[in-house]
Structure 1
Amino acid sequence: MTDADTATLSGFDPTRPRHAVVVRGGWDGHQPVEATDLFIPFLERHGFTVDVFDSPAPYADAERMADTDLIVQCMTMSTIEKEQFTGLRAAIEAGTGFAGWHGGIADSYRNTSDYLHLVGGQFACHPGKHPDELVGEQSDNYVPYRIEMLPAAAEHPITAGVGDFDLVTEQYWVLSDDYVDVLATTTQAVREWDPWHRPVTSPAIWTRQWGQGRIFVCTPGHRVEILEVPQVDTLVKRGLLWASR
């Protein structure tokens, strides 16, 4: 899909100058630098000036946040100070978009429950392979699974035209509330070695309206090679534009 198609489907006006802040860091296994570098040129082609930070410190800068149309966060785990979180939430409530993928948004700042409330879904686990297959690498958690689009996805600018698709990577089991607008789900099966007794369906792609701001979350995106899957690439690009002020 071309950039023009992505912008059109998202109802996005690429002629209006915008400002994006990219916050990246945390656990290196999610390749926060390489992953965000995939999308910075895309944003620049759509009229954004982009500033990049390696901590959530800019969230505490009210003047900067007031001038920010979109925050792209790829910060797995780590911590956030009270004034930083307060600034982030205030910016979103005032209309700044907040978007990200995988653990960079759905597994950030575990010690701050108000952040989990803001995002609406929290990574709980990613059940992996059979215990006999484990080798102590990230690949222990790579399993085949399907992303399934809900009926609402057919007409939504982020997901229109994207059908169900399969991945082999981490499958996120997400704890969420019913204020998330779910566009796609994934279902964790029950395998002979699992302690749960029925399949568990989690949101895989969702949006959330918070004050005047839009939030977009895509749980696929463990590493660059997953973000480069055509469906994931399209969903993230559209989600960034959709979330922007």
Structure 2
Amino acid sequence: MTRTALVVRGGWEGHHPVEATELFLPFLVESGFDVRVESSNEIYADAEFMAEVDLILQSVTMSEISKEAFAGLRAAVEAGAGFAGWHGGIADSYRNTSDYLQLVGGQFATHPGKEPSGRVGDETDNYLTYTVEVTDLGRTHEITAGLDDFTLETEQYWVLHDDLIDVLATTTHPVQPYHPWHRPIVSPAVWTRLWGEGRVFVCTPGHSVDVLQDDNVRTIVERGLLWAARA
């Protein structure tokens, strides 16, 4: 039986929403989904279509969403549609919509930068080498089972979150003399959330296409998409 996947992409172009989502369209098709791609989140307000959607893959950063579109998104998830994404495309989508933040369970706060003398004035100033650590839950969860801790050099997300998420992997922001915090901060890097009858999946690595092509990150995203989709 064919399932329906809706891919919504847009917002800030720095996260390459088109190129990034294109990486996963063949996987979705091969996994038995009929895929529809939209460049506007107003599709969420189409109740008749959204009732047929089994998986929503969103890559929309620093954007806005209308009351009608958000209501449609939330209703679809509560009714069983999966909601999934990576990096700012899901964790920094609609800063001004608090109910969206509640739906996702975590919100990008910052990505700490390099030591000031090593900064050159472009996006690489925020590229750090850091470890993604699989949690005890993650060791047994179908999204991350069999994966070991791994290292990336990219933006390291500091996430504000609540206790309703199930954290499959974390990353730790260390104390540095050029930063103002005084003890290490652990942030979720991969998490899931149950919302009504639906499932939410978030992977914070994914700033650029090359990060999404990392074997570990791509495996997590692909498994996360399948986990989130309506059974």
Normalising TM by the smaller chain, what interval? over 0.9
Could you give the per-residue CA deviations for residues 3-52 of structure 1, whole angstroms, max 9, x where no partner exists?
xxxxxxxxxxxxx3100000001111111000000000000001111111
1:57-101 per-position Cα deviation (integer Å, ceiling 9, x unaligned): 110000110000000000001100000000000000000000000
TM alignment of 1:161-172, pairs within 5 A: 161-172=146-157
Q: Which residue matches 1:129?
A: 114
Give runs of aligned pairs for residues 10-49 of structure 1, distance below 5 A.
16-49=1-34
Matched residue type, 2:211: I
Aligned residue among 198, 201, 216 for 2:201: 216
CA distance in 2, matches of 1:173, 1:76: 16
Pick one of 132, 137, 153 that aligns with 1:147: 132
SS in 2 for 1:128: coil
1:91 alignment counterpart: 76
Distance 2:11 2:118 in 1: 28
Q: CA deviation at 1:136?
A: 1.7
Q: CA deviation at 1:130?
A: 1.2
Which ranges of structure 1 fall in alignment gaps of 5 or more residues?
1-15
C-alpha displacement at 1:134, in angstroms? 1.7
Moved over 4 A (4+): none
- Paired AA for residue 180 in structure 2: P
CA distance in 2, matches of 1:132, 1:117: 38
Counterpart in 2 of 1:174?
159
* One-letter identity of the residue aligned with 1:46: S
Which of these residues, 63, 79, 88, is aligned with residue 78 of structure 1? 63
Amino acid of the structure 2 residue aligned with 1:235: I
Instruction: Show the counterpart of 1:13.
Output: none
Q: Deviations over 1:130-154 (max 9, x none)?
A: 1122222111100000000111112
Q: Give the Cα separation in 1 of the matches to 2:22 and 2:99.
A: 28
Match of 2:216 among 223, 231, 235: 231
| One-letter identity of the residue aligned with 1:108 | S
| Aligned counterparts of 1:54 and 1:140: Cα–Cα separation in 2 | 30
Matched residue type, 1:80: I
How many residues in Structure 1 have an aligned counterpart in Structure 2?
Answer: 230
Q: Select the residue among 165, 168, 174 that pairs with 1:189.
A: 174
Instruction: Provide the secondary structure at the position in 1 that maps to 2:63.
Output: coil
TM-score normalised by the chain length of structure 1: 0.93
Letter of the 1:181 partner, please give it.
D
Matched, 1:242 2:227: yes
**Which residue number corresponds to residue 11 of structure 1?**
none
Residues 135-192 of structure 1: CA distance to partner in whole angstroms, max 9, x if unpaired? 2211110000000011111211101101100000000000000000000000000111
Aligned equivalents of 1:47, 1:40: Cα separation in 2: 11
Q: Counterpart of 2:185?
A: 200
- Counterpart of 1:167 in structure 2: which amino acid? L
Aligned to 1:160: 145
Question: Using the alignment, how far apart are the partners of 2:43 and 2:14 within structure 1?
Answer: 23
